[in-house]
Amino acid sequence: MPVEEKLCTQSYTCGPSRPLLDLTIGGLLARTAGRYPDRLAVVSCHQQKRLTWAELSAQADRVARGLWSLGIRRGDRIGIWSTNCIEWVMMHMGCARAGAALVNVNPAYRSHELQFTLQRSRMKALFLWHKDRHADYEEILGRARHGFDHELQHVIYFDSPEWPALLDAPGCLPDRLPDHVASDDIANIQYTSGTTGLPKGVLLTHHNVVNNGQFLAQGFHYTEIDKIVVPVPLFHCFGCVIGTMSAVNSGAALILPNWTFDPRATLKAVHDERATSVYGVPAMYVAEFALPDFATFDLTSLRTGMMSGAPCPIELMKRVLTEMHIGELVIAYGQTETSPVTTMSDAGDTIEVRVNTVGRAMPQTEIQIVSTETGAQVPIGQQGELCIRGYALMKGYDGDPEGTALVIKEDGWLRTGDLGVMRPDGCLRITGRSRDVIIRGGENIYPREVEEFLYTHSKVGEAQVVGIPHARLGEVVCAWVRLQPGVEATEEEIKEFCQGQIAYYKIPEHVRFVTEFPATLSGKIQKYKIREFEIEARGLQSVANAATA
């Protein structure tokens, strides 16, 4: 069947054919630094630091030489556990130059999660700050390392003499830098909730993220005169690919407003730097509009931006288009496993496309919607599971071929677990999730991980975790707990048990004590019934039914 006929009847589409770059991250940085040496590359507003592209390239070489002086070689894993800062960007570029794989560690992680990451990633070095107002990282690291085997050999604190010493390390890199690194080498390992169990290390190659960044930059129509305000975390794909890699591809400047998201700092960065683009999950835009002095910030320099990471309320998008002057706001969909963006509206699309869909297939990306029962393509307009194929697919889950095979089939299609509908014009609507990942303010939470932790409480006999609607965050965590016989507990007791042990965003917002769970005749827990009960009991019907793209 010709593609033209197939597009009209079946839920299959392929993005435009555009050249793929055969460059490493280090090679791309060198190219951009050569083209725009004196243009601004990165600004860290809260640190009052600025680098041009030539300066960033030179700093990347310093980091790479320092890593080699530690004995780090091609393919070794290097962790970074930090909120947004200029050092994060330097490490990102420097690891790539050295041929090491950067392991992103969520700053919200506490000892339980950090211990897991240290063991699974086999990182040889970890870069971090001693502490900030959110956590004492040195103390957490000490607890995570105590009594457990790991390969961590070097711990470098940015706020210690070790960091400048590393940058000034003598020696040299391979003569053919960056040619000693291949484009299909692992550049980045990001931990995300997979289909089952604990977080999985997603292996992303230079080829994956360089080209996703290229196509993102084209979709935003970025050039070297653009300035992108990035309040989203760099440890997440939203920050280090949609943010950093689109900038490295285009020569646009990357503007970091603060260590972590702050609505006033974000708007101030736009105002002060005359930024042309800004990113955020819906909750971030809501917080910015809520500022009493919102109208005092001059946002007229904005041209484009992205709202993604969670379902985007239509009315909120309309406010962003008008009140923030982002006439070319785009919406995107993706997963960490796809580097991450696979569909995106274009800056030139109509408002109808941008408020009602997540756009169309990115270049060099195939998309199909299949029946969750048979796996066959469904007709246009019919709901099914979204599947992706193309250059952006991860190399796999780290050390988990079985888990990889569960999501990437032999024919090369990745089963996303998300439900969607394809329109006749090839644009997609995401309608739900066939697996029960909770998305809280752009953070993915796998319920089983929270459940497994709750089971470590001596009073908990059984726990079931679901996401329930939240007007600002999209979803929050709700736990149903069946206590051990003869004991009592309070909601606050369960929450307090989680404090400091698991990331704050995974801690249940609501805890309900029950004696039984809704289940099928075969005993399978019906989580959708738990969610339905909570929506009804908490009066969340209007939130659950709010229109989203």
Percent of the chain beyond pLDDT 90? 77
How does the average pLDDT of the chain come out, rounded?
92
Residue 176: the pLDDT is 55
Task: Assign 356 a pLDDT band (cuts: 50, 70, 90).
Answer: confident
Query: Running DSSP on this structure, what letter comes out for residue 456?
Result: T
C-alpha span between 210 and 26 (Å, rounded): 10
Is the pLDDT at 179 greater than 60? The verdict is no
Grade residue 363 by pLDDT with cuts at 50, 70 and 90.
very high
373 pLDDT band, cuts 50/70/90, is: confident
Give the per-residue pLDDT at 197: 54
At residue 256, the pLDDT reads: 98
Is 177 or 99 the better-scoring residue by pLDDT?
99
pLDDT at position 196 is 42
pLDDT digits (tens, 9 = 90+) for 311-326: 677 778 889 999 999 9
Please compute the mean of the pLDDT values over residues 172-190 and round it to a whole number. Answer: 80
Q: What are the structure tokens assigned to 447, written together?
A: 């319920």
Say what angle helices 25-35 and 86-98 make with each other, to 10 degrees. Answer: 120
pLDDT tens per residue, range 221-233: 999 999 999 999 9
pLDDT above 90 (res 436): no
Domains of the chain, earliest start first:
13-422 (3.40.50.12780), 438-544 (3.30.300.30)
At residue 549 the predicted structure's pLDDT band, cuts being 50, 70 and 90, is low
pLDDT of residue 458: 93
State which H helix or E strand residue 454 sits in: helix 447-454
Q: What Rg, from alpha-carbon coordinates, does the chain have?
A: 23
- 82-102: average pLDDT: 97
Q: In this predicted structure, what is the pLDDT of residue 312? A: 74
Find, among 5, 12, 42, the residue nearest to 423 by Cα.
12
Average pLDDT on 411-439 reads 88
Instruction: Tell me how far apart the alpha carbons of residues 92 and 234 are, in angstroms, rounded to a whole number.
Output: 10
Instruction: Read off the pLDDT of residues 375-403 as tens digits, 9 standing for 90 and up.
Output: 999 999 998 999 999 999 999 999 999 99
Rounded to an integer, the average pLDDT of 486-507 is 95
Nearest-10 Cα torsion for 394, 35, 37, 49: -40
Angle between helix axes 282-289 and 263-273 (nearest 10 degrees) is 80
pLDDT of residue 2: 34
Question: What is the DSSP code string of 262-278?
Answer: -HHHHHHHHHHHT-SEE
- Higher pLDDT pick, 68 / 310: 68
For 117-138, what is the mean pLDDT?
A: 96
| Mean pLDDT (whole number) for 65-87 | 96
On whether the CB atoms of residues 43 and 255 are closer than 8 A, the answer is: yes
Cβ(416)–Cβ(437) under 8 Å?
Answer: no
Q: What is the pLDDT of residues 102-112, one digit of tens each?
A: 999 999 999 98
Q: What does the pLDDT average to over 405-416?
A: 95
Angle at 185 between CA 179 and CA 186, to 5 degrees: 135
Residue 25 has pLDDT above 80, yes or no: yes
Is the model more confident about 488 or about 548?
488
Per-residue pLDDT band for 4 (boundaries 50, 70, 90) equals very low
Going by C-alpha positions, the residue among 129, 22, 122 that lies closest to residue 72 is 122
Distance between alpha carbon 204 and the CA centroid of its chain, in Å?
Answer: 12
Q: How many Cβ atoms sit within 10 Å of the Cβ of residue 250?
A: 23
The contacts of residue 536 (CB under 8 Å, 6+ apart) are none
Q: Name the pLDDT band for 354 (thresholds 50, 70, 90).
A: confident
> Does 34 score more than 80 pLDDT?
yes
Start-to-end CA distance of the chain, whole Å, equals 31
* Calpha distance 547→357 (Å, rounded): 12
**6 — pLDDT class (breaks 50, 70, 90):** very low
Q: Which runs of consecutive H residues, i.e. helices, occur in 479-526?
A: 491-498
Q: Say how far apart CA 268 and CA 298 lie, in whole Å.
A: 9
Decide: residue 295, CB within 10 A, 0-12 exposed, 13-18 middle, 19+ buried.
Answer: exposed
Of all residues in the chain, what percent carry a pLDDT higher than 70?
94
- Burial status of residue 69 (CB atoms within 10 A of its CB: 0-12, 13-18, 19 or more): middle
Task: Report how far residue 144's alpha carbon sits from residue 148's, in angstroms, rounded to the nearest whole number.
Answer: 8
On the 0-12 / 13-18 / 19+ scale of CB atoms within 10 A, 460 is buried
Rounded mean pLDDT, 111-124: 94
- For residue 230, give Cα distances in angstroms to 120, 263, 337: 29, 12, 21
The region of weakest confidence among 182-196, 229-243, 264-278, 410-424 is 182-196
Residues 6+ apart with CB under 8 A from 315: 547
Residue 148: pLDDT band (50, 70, 90) is: confident
The token pair at 335 is 């997963």
pLDDT given at position 194: 42
The rounded distance, in Å, linking the Cα atoms of 508 and 526 is 19
Q: How confident is the model at residue 195 (pLDDT cuts 50, 70, 90)?
A: very low
Q: 6-20, 50-64, 501-515: lowest mean pLDDT where?
A: 6-20
